[in-house]
Structure 1
Amino acid sequence: MWGRLWPLLLSFLTAAAVPGPSPRRPSRELDATPRMTIPYEELSGTRHFKGPAQNYSTLLLEEASARLLVGARGALFSLNAHDIGDGSHKEIHWEASPEMQTKCHQKGKNNQTECFNHVRFLQRLNATHLYACGTHAFQPLCAAIDAEAFTLPSSFEEGKEKCPYDPARGFTGLIIDGGLYTATRYEFRSIPDIRRSRHPHSLRTEEAPMHWLNDAEFVFSVLVRESKASAVGDDDKVYYFFTERATEEGSSNFAQSRSSHRVARVARVCKGDLGGKKILQKKWTSFLKARLVCHIPQYETLRGVCSVDVDTSARTHFYAAFTLTTQWKTLEASAICRYDLTEVQAVFAGPYMEYQDGVRRWGRYEGGVPEPRPGSCITDLLRSQGYNSSQDLPSLVLDFVKLHPLMARPVVPTRGRPLLLKRSVRYTHLTGTPVTTPAGPTYDLLFLGTADGWIHKAVVLGSGMHIIEETQVFKEPQSVENLVISPMQHSLYVGASSGVTQLPLSSCSRYRSCYDCILARDPYCGWDPSTHACLEANTAVNRTALIQDIERGNRGCESNRDTGRACRSRWPQCHHPLHGPLCRMVLTPDETSVSKRAT
């Protein structure tokens, strides 16, 4: 039934988005069809690793040493990033003791899935050591691991302030200048929080008189060094992405008030935050959060986020994967939206929300805003006024921060609309990298992991996305839990329950004709007219001679004798009886067969 209703539903959801005068593409054009499908049996150039553990969900790539570090259930592994399956790996067994597993089970937890040591955090601590944290049968522990010897230390650190108890809970963490910044649900009570530890000034969010976080599930965090080349002496910031219960929904334009309604958020804290001296002591003074919308109603559950160009804050942007809210239990679909950091910054510099006791609802705050602006970082201007740290801020400012953590304006996607809507797909993770083509333009290339073990490789083109290919990574369906790109190894590492798979970022040799190569629109691939082959652009001897047409995918082969078929200025479209022109013909070199695939 949903197959027949999907075009109508998609049109309705798109039309119901936040209105605006700008023209919109037909909604069905947002549902891109992968140009090539690569089943598991046809994988080439892949490497696999599977040790004696399960749930290989934590990945850390160290490009300089060419090592891929993996955290799993009851174990850590150090793999050769060039070939993860070459057998040269190192291994650490880190299991919860039988006594700990018994206690965990006695507390009502599952002794088949939960009462183990799931390694949830693995980062570089310093030049000699790694830092890892595990759930340890609902009694989290952390350890500083000698990176060279790759062995556990003789003593461990308490992990309850750094790691979730529950292995199924969302978690994100970073080590920044020696401090540990984590966001998850802490303790046995599963309290959502954003915390900083292993730092002279440990901080957390405020709980009274209102919770700054409401039933939050965290997805991603990233450091943006906004102090770099800042004309005002700004501070570096950490951004957190999560889904939480929307307490302000009674005043929302998107839906009627529902206490259980969940929305996507982005929050921000300043790296230099020291907390308040008396008010907000040991609490963030710079915490602000805003709603993250994809401008398609019901796409509210945030599944994955990745950042691009974080080294230059003026160009930093994010890609986020959303799925439908839980009320759409019989329909599976995903949306991809892009957000510019400049838009996020503008929202955090805008008006606040306030809980109005008289009407018992949230509304836009219309009163005066104290100075210095609440939630802002310490800048050169504030230092010149005597505010050298957050502990120097006036009580009036800190009281305002306690009561106004939420911004009034939502963060809207670039160009006000999604890049992609994909039906019958639930994206679970994504990662991206900018790719500069031989002709000069740079394109963002995204890899999107699905809940059933496929990878969609897509290039961002203006206000939309072109899915270059879809690849079945695992023989048995399983969720993609993590994705890491290595430009140096030209590899994508995929973490899942059964193991880790290493895929090449491109397989240009699959395209046998000029038209196949050009139509792929893969920034990594170009047609070489001298060798009559589709080559990897980054390794080609004469890169500038390669033929590419990333924007349109139909120019450059007109005078080439290796077109693989008669030259056509336009490719004819297939017409699906239900979905309309959603796919294109793919002609074989001898033009004797046509394959169609509608999604």
Structure 2
Amino acid sequence: MDNMDTSFKEGTADAGLLKRTQSAGVTERVRQHLWRIWIGDVSVGTLLQTEDLREYTQFGQTVSNSTTFWLEEQQKVLYVGARDVIYALNTNNINDQSMKMIRWEALPAKTKDCLNKHRQGFENCHNYIRFLRRFNGTHLYACGTYAFLPHCAYVDIKRFTLSAPFEGKDSCPYDPTVGYTGLVADNKIYTATLYGFHGGQADIIKSFDGRSLKMVDSVILKAPNFVDSMLVRESVESSEGDDDKIYIFFTEKLGDENAFNGKPLVSLVARVCKSDEGGNRTLQKKWTSFLKARIVCSIPEYDFNFNILRSVFVFNQKPWQNTIIYGVFGSQWQNIQISAVCQYTIADIRKAFEGPYKEVQESARWWARYNGAVPTPRPGSCITDAFKKEGIKTSRDLPDNVLEFVKEHTLMDEEVRPVGSRPLVTKKLVNYTKMVVDTVTALDDKQYSVMFIGTADGWIHKVVHIGAIAHAIEEMQVYKEPQPVESLVLVGDQLQRTLIVGAQSGVIQVAVSSCHKYRSCLDCIMGRDPYCAWDGENCQEVQLQKDRTGLIQDIVNGNKGCLKSKADVLIKTVPKDVDLFLPCPLGSNTAAVLWTFGGKELPGGSEPRYQQDGKLLVVRQVQAGDAGSYHCHARENGLVYPVASYDVRVGQGWMSTIREIIYLFLIAALGVATVVLSILCIYLCCSSARRGKRRMHLSGASGMELQNVAGSTAGKCEEGRYSGERFLKIIPGEGATAGNHLSSTAAMVDLLPPPPPPPPPLPLAPDPATAGATPNGLAGLPHVLRKMNGNSYVLLRQAGDVDTISSHYHSFTEELSKMLEKRKHAQLVDKLDESSV
């Protein structure tokens, strides 16, 4: 292993991890060995989304901070302490109608006072239930932060009602975010947390009979984070009449950098005796049995320590000597996501507390092993039959020299090391938070421990402990929104085993197994799930099968029991000069992919066109020689089995054909566009040529030509001449004479829009006597000029005496020009007027 390459590839997750370790202040030796830890990193077999989980149930009530669980297994009731509320849920179905609820909110005055002391909008000014345990046969004991003024109360189990709350400053933390643990033993309450409004006082307190027992003032815990506690009934069947013990697990920050090889954070386990009552003169109302020892989770050969304890699960077994403790650990470098699970025995913990003590060397100011004389009876011990024979019946009878010694020597020299001296599970790129352990009897009649480990992003890792190894079965997404899993409990019997999960957003209940996800015999067997077995057609839950004779299961090796299988052949036809992608749909994330083509393993080093990207095979720029059979195999647990087969056929190059089709299409489109534009241009030209000219047919023989000489639609008048484009020609014919009325032929004019009918024509031969009486003063002029639409004039020219008309035409043209000049400054009349000539 020392000869392995310790370099990190650029662009990989490990390379990013190396950069983060450099910024985190990790030593060079640790950085060079970090990647080696990944060799023991557990790989998750199967990923399951929320929709893939069996019996997935979300608690229907709106609940926040559901982080305190207390299970009454015989009554099948789970008590949940959340924000401002306590629930009693049916473990068979958390949404059952039998659900009960107690609303417990802080008084408005207390909430207002909390907000004034902190700030408006401070979310923690609620009553967060942090303590919920069975107190006696009829009541639970509950405590909450109560808007930074802790209160406690008793809960009547039968009626599920709350007694009158009372202050509980020594039983619950003020701040809901600090570490806390507590338990009840024989009507005595043991709690450990940071007390006080500002959380500056750390203590382990025993409350009983209206009194309390605390730590000695000389023993100061520095920034502790209390994780969990447990009661071990060591007095049961004890040959020496020993007492029960309370064990408290926590993490502490060391003030002396030289202590424990310079590690600034350490995980510890403290021990006190249940019957401790304090001393008589020395250590009055103080612990006489408080001792602590370091608990270690590390990889010795790499000198790497997981020194932050996050949670503890106690697996109680009878007798108590078989009790197993699981610890979930993380690294002290917060920007490095790496977690581990270590396993301990109660015997190893007892051994540490029975060993030598440590003391502070004043000259060097660091902890060292104490080699001096130890007084009797042994300091920190519980009262036994041997003590009672010497007249020491309680802790009040202990000699002063024993109590003085325990004040100065609270730390043990020996460390509590894990089983096998190394982690049971290590996992990179994840932060573990909580865990529970179930024991399952497999088809081989052996019991296997199955661990359910919660993560900081709302997932559950399911890991089975097989001998000295751990195999990750699956990873289940419990919460769609990433959030830390803060509570876990296993409920139900072997026939209906479920897992209840608590987090900030609510409570979830899921089945412990999802055997239906395995579609083949190999998937079911190699999953190595003690809950699942193959019946010949499907993967079934073992506990639900009454007849187990035909079931197949291999937990130890995960490679026996299934016949050889063949993968279906898929035909893929691809053209030349394109990239070919062949997927390998593995059902397990722990299997390795093996691709073959023509009996040779791919990708080959001599042919760079073949590349493997995870489970995908990529063939670059396919050629005719790449046609053939491709096979994907999975290699797992010493077994190689087929997963997918492809018959690849390479066709002629079609890229050029597509290009030609595109070119032809573009040419055709341009031709159509050209034709359309040509037609449009011809139409516009014809329309413009006809614009302003219209013809009309008269039934008479005479023809007339109309000229628009004024108005908005008139042509330009330039140097006394009129544009020829503005004449409307009337084709002469036989019919009415020049004296006919113009209105008789106006209906035949093809004009858009048609003008209104013109007024009757004036007489062609004016009366000289009345010439001077004409309205416009144009005496003697022929009435050939008519006003049209109030602002235009029309000159009528008849086919008759050309000379007469011509003379009249030029004479009235000059007069008309003068008249129009005057009318520039005059307002046009709205109605037709015979005088406008």
- Over 3 Å counting, the alpha-carbon distance change for 1:14 and 1:289 in structure 2 is farther
Identity %: 44
Contact 1:101 1:111 in 2 (8 A): no
TM-score of the superposed pair, with normalisation by structure 1: 0.88
Contact 2:568 2:644 in 1 (8 A): no
- Over 3 Å counting, the alpha-carbon distance change for 1:425 and 1:565 in structure 2 is farther
Aligned residues: 567
2:61 equivalent in structure 1: 51
Larger relative contact order (Cα-Cα within 8 Å, sequence gap ≥ 6)? 1
Shift of 1:399: 0.7
1:324 paired to 2:331: yes
Range that drifts further, 346-355 or 296-305: 296-305
1:192 equivalent in structure 2: 202
Provide the C-alpha distance between the structure 1 equivalents of 2:645 and 2:202, rounded to a whole number of angstroms: 56
2:173 equivalent in structure 1: 164
Shift of 1:136: 0.3
- Over 3 Å counting, the alpha-carbon distance change for 1:357 and 1:126 in structure 2 is same
1:513 equivalent in structure 2: 520
Shift of 1:53: 3.3
Range that drifts further, 355-364 or 221-230: 355-364
Residue in structure 1 matching 2:251, options 243, 251, 255: 243
1:233 paired to 2:241: yes
**Amino acid paired to 1:151:** T
Output aligned runs, 1:244-393, within 5 Å. 244-247=252-255, 249-253=257-261, 255=262, 261-296=264-299, 297-325=304-332, 328-393=333-398
- Over 3 Å counting, the alpha-carbon distance change for 1:564 and 1:515 in structure 2 is farther
Contact 2:452 2:463 in 1 (8 A): yes
**Paired residue secondary structure (2:66):** strand
Shift of 1:422: 1.1
Shift of 1:538: 2.6
Contact 2:634 2:641 in 1 (8 A): no
Provide the C-alpha distance between the structure 2 equivalents of 1:574 and 1:347, rounded to a whole number of angstroms: 47
**Paired residue secondary structure (2:212):** coil
Residue in structure 2 matching 1:27, options 28, 37, 42: 37
Residue in structure 2 matching 1:217, options 219, 225, 229: 225
2:466 equivalent in structure 1: 461
Output aligned runs, 1:10-21, within 5 Å. 13=30
Shift of 1:169: 0.7
- Over 3 Å counting, the alpha-carbon distance change for 1:377 and 1:249 in structure 2 is farther
**Amino acid paired to 1:276:** G
1:143 equivalent in structure 2: 153
1:125 paired to 2:135: yes
Contact 2:134 2:141 in 1 (8 A): yes
2:89 equivalent in structure 1: 79
Provide the C-alpha distance between the structure 1 equivalents of 2:271 and 2:480, rounded to a whole number of angstroms: 40
Output aligned runs, 1:476-555, within 5 Å. 476-488=481-493, 489-529=496-536, 532-543=537-548, 546-555=551-560
**Amino acid paired to 1:184:** T
Provide the C-alpha distance between the structure 1 equivalents of 2:191 and 2:550, rounded to a whole number of angstroms: 48
**Paired residue secondary structure (1:342):** helix
2:78 equivalent in structure 1: 68
2:654 equivalent in structure 1: none
1:475 equivalent in structure 2: 480
Shift of 1:540: 2.2
Shift of 1:159: 1.0
Residue in structure 2 matching 1:421, options 422, 426, 441: 426
Shift of 1:438: 3.5
**Paired residue secondary structure (2:505):** coil
1:447 equivalent in structure 2: 452
- Over 3 Å counting, the alpha-carbon distance change for 1:334 and 1:2 in structure 2 is farther
Shift of 1:193: 1.2
Kindly provide the CA deviation profile for residues 403-448 of structure 1, in whole angstroms up to 9, marking residues without a partner as x.
1111112111111111222111111111112223242322221111
Provide the C-alpha distance between the structure 1 equivalents of 2:423 and 2:17, rounded to a whole number of angstroms: 16
- Over 3 Å counting, the alpha-carbon distance change for 1:572 and 1:50 in structure 2 is closer
**Amino acid paired to 1:36:** T
Kindly provide the CA deviation profile for residues 356-376 of structure 1, in whole angstroms up to 9, marking residues without a partner as x.
223322221111111111111
Which 5+ residue runs of structure 1 have no aligned equivalent? 18-24, 595-599
Contact 1:513 1:564 in 2 (8 A): no
1:22 equivalent in structure 2: none
Provide the C-alpha distance between the structure 1 equivalents of 2:562 and 2:350, rounded to a whole number of angstroms: 44
Provide the C-alpha distance between the structure 2 equivalents of 1:113 and 1:562, rounded to a whole number of angstroms: 59
Shift of 1:577: 9.4
Report the structure, 1 or 2, having the larger helix content.
Answer: 2
RMSD between aligned alpha carbons? 3.1
Provide the C-alpha distance between the structure 1 equivalents of 2:440 and 2:313, rounded to a whole number of angstroms: 15
Provide the C-alpha distance between the structure 2 equivalents of 1:111 and 1:2, rounded to a whole number of angstroms: 43
- Over 3 Å counting, the alpha-carbon distance change for 1:41 and 1:273 in structure 2 is same
Provide the C-alpha distance between the structure 2 equivalents of 1:593 and 1:266, rounded to a whole number of angstroms: 56
Provide the C-alpha distance between the structure 2 equivalents of 1:513 and 1:238, rounded to a whole number of angstroms: 49
- Over 3 Å counting, the alpha-carbon distance change for 1:138 and 1:4 in structure 2 is same
**Paired residue secondary structure (2:524):** helix
- Over 3 Å counting, the alpha-carbon distance change for 1:572 and 1:156 in structure 2 is closer
1:573 equivalent in structure 2: 592
1:591 paired to 2:643: yes
2:187 equivalent in structure 1: 178
Shift of 1:349: 0.8
Output aligned runs, 1:400-439, within 5 Å. 400-439=405-444
2:621 equivalent in structure 1: none
Contact 2:432 2:456 in 1 (8 A): yes
Provide the C-alpha distance between the structure 2 equivalents of 1:497 and 1:367, rounded to a whole number of angstroms: 51
- Over 3 Å counting, the alpha-carbon distance change for 1:399 and 1:536 in structure 2 is same
Shift of 1:395: 0.8
Contact 1:333 1:421 in 2 (8 A): yes
Shift of 1:33: 1.2
**Amino acid paired to 2:42:** A
Kindly provide the CA deviation profile for residues 296-318 of structure 1, in whole angstroms up to 9, marking residues without a partner as x.
43521111110113442221111
Contact 1:565 1:589 in 2 (8 A): no
**Amino acid paired to 1:336:** V
Contact 1:224 1:313 in 2 (8 A): yes
Provide the C-alpha distance between the structure 2 equivalents of 1:563 and 1:128, rounded to a whole number of angstroms: 63
Shift of 1:572: 6.1
Range that drifts further, 118-127 or 309-318: 309-318
Contact 1:557 1:563 in 2 (8 A): no
Kindly provide the CA deviation profile for residues 244-278 of structure 1, in whole angstroms up to 9, marking residues without a partner as x.
1124541423x36xxxx221111111112121112
Shift of 1:585: 5.8
Shift of 1:90: 1.3
- Over 3 Å counting, the alpha-carbon distance change for 1:251 and 1:451 in structure 2 is closer
**Amino acid paired to 2:186:** D
Kindly provide the CA deviation profile for residues 459-478 of structure 1, in whole angstroms up to 9, marking residues without a partner as x.
12233321111111111111
- Over 3 Å counting, the alpha-carbon distance change for 1:442 and 1:176 in structure 2 is same
Shift of 1:549: 2.0
Provide the C-alpha distance between the structure 2 equivalents of 1:324 and 1:522, rounded to a whole number of angstroms: 29
- Over 3 Å counting, the alpha-carbon distance change for 1:379 and 1:556 in structure 2 is farther
Provide the C-alpha distance between the structure 2 equivalents of 1:563 and 1:145, rounded to a whole number of angstroms: 62
Shift of 1:201: 5.7
Range that drifts further, 470-479 or 437-446: 437-446
Question: Radius of gyration: which is bigger?
Answer: 2
